[in-house]
Amino acid sequence: MRTVLVTGPGGAGRTTTAAATALAAARQGRRVLLLTSDRGPAPEAVLGVALPAPPVRGDESPAPWAPPVEVAPGLRAARIAVGEHFRDRARELQDRGASLFDLLGATPLDAEELTELPGAEPLAILTALRAAHTGDAPWDLLVVDMPPAPETIRLLALPEQLRRYLRRLLPPERQAARALRPMLAQLAGVPMPAQRLYETAERWEAELAAVQRVIEARSTTVRLVVEPGPVAAEAVSVARAGLALQSCRIDTLVTNRLFPDAAEAPGDTAGSWLAGLVDEQRTALKALREEFLVDAVTVCELPHLGRGPRGAGDLAELAGRARSTAVGGTGIVEGDGLTDELDGWTGPDPDGSVSDEEPDAWSVEDRIATDGVLVWRLPLPGADRDGLDLVRRGDELIVGVGPFRRVLPLPSALRRCTVSGAALRDGALCVRFTPDPGLWPRTS
C-alpha cells in the first residue's frame, strides 16, 4: 500500500493539501483512506463532512481511529483516536504491573482519572500507521495529515529511538535469568514483576519494529507543504534536513496559497497593495523550485482560491488547478499536479518483501588506496554547516542537524577506524575515517 505523510511548517495548509491529494487520487480510481490526528474543527471544515468521535471504552474498535466516513467516491476519512489510545495503553500497563503496585502498596488509577499526557499523539499516530498496514488493507493509498514538520520529524524518529532505549535498559541477554525468578519470588515472599516486564518489552519491540518498517518502506514518502515566503523558506530547509537525517524521502514539495500574477488576474484582483506580497512570494517560489528540482523532487503549485477551501467542491477545484513540475528523462517536464509521485514508489514493504529497491544512499566510499581513508556519505539536503554536530561514541556516530539528532550504528568496516574529519559538500555530510592500525586487518 502506498503511504503519503503530509507535513510542513505550522499554518502552511497541511490539512487542505492532504485532503486535496486524497481526493485527487480517489478521482483517478484509487481507494483512499485519509487519517488526521487534528481534533480541532479544521478537518471537518475542509472536508465538508462531520467526522465521528472515536469509540468510547467498551465499543468494538478494530482500528485505532474512528469509523471512517465517505467524503467522495473512493475516499474515506477518519480521526485517529489519540485520547482513547492513551487510555487503553495506560490501563493495559496498569494491569500488567498489578503485582508491582501490590508490592509497593500503590493504588492504580481508575479509568476516569486517566487523562492524556504530552506525547500521546505521536504514539497514537505510530500505532495507526502500523495498524493500517496490518493484514489485507482495503486501501490503495493511505494519506496521513501529520503534525507540523518539527513534531513529525521527532515522531518518525521515535521507533528507532525507543527500540534503542529498550535494548539498553532491558538487554535480551538478561532474559536468560528468567528461570531464577520463581525461586526469587519464593524467597522474597512476593511475586516478581520482571516476567511481565520483559514480556511487555518484547511486545513493544515487535510493535516498534513493525512501524519502523512502514516508515522506512520505499512505498512511504513525505509530502512537504509550504506557503512561499522568506521565513517559510528557512523553515523548509530545516525540515528537509531533519527528514533526510531520518532517511525519509520527500516525493513532492507543495507550494500552497499562491497569489495570481497581476497579468493573470481579471481586472485589479491582485490589487496594487498586494503587488509587493506577490513579488515576495514569487521570489521565494523561484528559490524553492531551484533547490528541490535540482535533487529531482517534484514541485507542485496550489493556487489561492480567494477563500478557505470548504468541502469536496473546493478541494476538487484546488486539485484541478494544481500545477506541478518534475524532472523527467528529457529534463524539466510538466507533471500531473497532486497525483504526481503516487505511483512508482516500490521496494521493501512492511512484510519484508523487496522490489525495485534503490541503492543505499548512505554509502561508504573506499579511498584507502588513494587517500588512506574511508568516506561515509550521509545525504543531508538543506543542512547548514553551522547547525551540524558530530560525535563518535563507541560503535555509533551521533549526528545533529539543527534541533534534530540521530544515533547511527557504524558499518562494520568503520568500527575499526577513527574519525579523521568531516565536511558538508553538495548537500551531503562526508565523514572521513582512517583505519586504526591496531584493529585493521593486515594484508600479507
Predicted pLDDT at 277: 85
HEC string for 233-271: HHHHHHHHHHHHHCCCCEEEEEEEEECCCCCCCCCCCCC
pLDDT at 42: 94
Name all contacts of 157-164 with Cβ < 8 Å and 24+ positions apart: 157/246, 157/404, 157/406, 158/122, 158/123, 158/126, 159/126, 159/208, 159/209, 159/211, 159/212, 159/215, 160/212, 160/406, 161/407, 162/204, 162/208, 163/205, 163/208, 163/209, 163/212, 164/407
Q: Report pLDDT digits (tens) over 127-149.
A: 999 999 987 778 999 999 999 99
Structure confidence by residue, pLDDT tens digits, 229-287? 888 888 999 999 999 999 999 999 999 999 887 555 555 554 666 788 888 999 999 99
- pLDDT at residue 47 is higher than 50: yes
- The C-alpha atoms of residue 167 and residue 182 are separated, in whole angstroms, by 24
**38-42, 281-285, 323-327, 343-347: segment of lowest average pLDDT:** 343-347
Residue 361 pLDDT more than 80?
A: no
C-alpha distances out from residue 126 to 81, 85, 121, 132, Å: 12, 11, 9, 10
For the cut 90, the answer to whether the pLDDT of residue 88 exceeds it is no
Q: At 356, is the pLDDT very low, low, confident or very high (cuts 50, 70, 90)?
A: very low
Q: With 50 as the cut, is the pLDDT of residue 291 above it? A: yes
| Statement: residue 350 has pLDDT above 50 | no
List, edge to edge, every strand of the sheet that includes 2-7: 69-72, 75-79, 32-36, 141-145, 2-7, 220-226, 250-258, 298-303, 323-328, 331-334
- Annotate 294-352 with DSSP letters as a single string: TTT-EEEEEE--SS---HHHHHHHHHHH-EEEEEETTEEEE--GGGTTSSS--S--TTS
pLDDT at 349: 46
Using one digit for the tens of pLDDT, what is the confidence trace for 55-74? 755 444 557 899 999 999 99
Which distant-in-sequence residues (6+ apart) come within 8 Å of 204 by Cβ?
162, 166
- What pLDDT score was predicted for residue 122? 92
CA distance 359 to 423: 23
Pairwise CA distance, residues 90 & 136, whole Å: 28
Q: Per-residue pLDDT tens for 183-223?
A: 555 555 545 555 666 777 788 899 999 999 999 999 999 99
In this prediction, residue 203 carries a pLDDT of 84
Per-residue model confidence (pLDDT) at position 167:
86
Which long-range contacts link 432-436 to residues 24+ away (Cβ below 8 Å)? 432/373, 432/374, 432/375, 433/373, 433/374, 433/375, 433/376, 434/372, 434/373, 435/368, 435/372, 435/374
Query: Residue 160 above 50 pLDDT?
Result: yes
Distance between CA atoms of residues 267 and 288, nearest Å: 29
pLDDT at residue 202, as a whole number: 83
Cβ atoms of 109 and 116 closer than 8 Å = no
The whole-number pLDDT of residue 439 equals 85
Sole residue written with cell 489510545: 85
pLDDT of 354: 40
* pLDDT band per the 50, 70, 90 thresholds, residue 330: confident
For residue 2, is pLDDT > 70?
yes
Could you tell me the strand order of the sheet in which 404-409 lies? 388-393, 396-401, 404-409
Tell me the average pLDDT across 383-412: 94
Band of pLDDT at residue 357, cut at 50, 70 and 90: very low
| Residue 347 pLDDT grade (very low, low, confident, very high; cuts 50, 70, 90) | very low
State the greatest distance between any 2 C-alpha atoms of the chain, in Å, as a whole number: 89
What number of other Cβ atoms are within 10 A of residue 38's Cβ? 20
Contacts of 90 (CB under 8 A, 6+ apart): 109, 114
Burial tier of 118 (Cβ tally within 10 Å: 0-12, 13-18, 19+): exposed
Residue 120 is predicted with a pLDDT of 87
Given a contact cutoff of 8 angstroms between Cβ atoms, the answer to whether 233 and 365 are in contact is no
- Give the type of residue at 293: L
pLDDT at 256: 96
Terminal alpha carbon distance of the chain: 51
pLDDT surpasses 80 at 30? yes
The confidence score (pLDDT) of residue 172 equals: 65
Q: What is the pLDDT of residue 428?
A: 94
Q: What is the pTM of this model?
A: 0.87
